[in-house]
């Protein structure tokens, strides 16, 4: 499957807004498994300094993606990186993702 950032944003927003699944199934996806670092059934949650987000990541050798949305599916942020996660890019990757999330919430991150 080939997807663009816009495709991922539309899907994530539609999922969290309740347009794709009945409420009971969406509620199940939000049930975070204890000890799972925020993972539920196909979604994970992260609390950032700018707000809580829900989403999913994916990747293959040489490529990685994060598609994130707010709890109601009104705003989304997608980060696509042409590389896999490695210790060399961990800090820049996390900074780029956090900057995208904060911008999504209207709280631009000041990176120094």
Please report, for residues 15, 40, 60, 89, the alpha-carbon distance to residue 27 in angstroms, rounded to integers and kept in the order given: 11, 10, 29, 34
Phi/psi region, residue 7 (left: phi>0; alpha: psi -120 to 50; beta: rest), is: alpha
- Region 38-42: what's the mean pLDDT? 88
Domain positions in the chain are: 5-104
Q: What is the pTM of this model?
A: 0.81
45-62 residue pLDDT tens:
999 999 999 999 888 887
Q: How far apart are CA 75 and CA 77, in angstroms?
A: 7
Percentage of the chain with pLDDT > 70? Answer: 96
Give the pLDDT score at 82: 80
């Amino acid at each position: 499957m080939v997807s663009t950032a816009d495709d991922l944003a539309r899907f994530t927003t539609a999922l969290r807004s309740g347009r794709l699944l009945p409420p009971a199934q969406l509620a199940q996806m939000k049930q975070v498994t204890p000890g799972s670092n925020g993972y539920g059934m196909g979604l994970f949650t992260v609390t950032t300094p700018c707000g809580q987000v829900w989403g999913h990541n994916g990747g293959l050798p040489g490529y990685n993606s994060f598609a994130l949305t707010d709890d109601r599916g009104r705003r989304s942020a997608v980060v696509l990186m042409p590389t896999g996660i490695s210790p060399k890019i961990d800090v820049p990757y996390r900074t780029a993702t956090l900057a995208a999330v904060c911008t999504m919430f209207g709280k631009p991150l000041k990176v120094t």
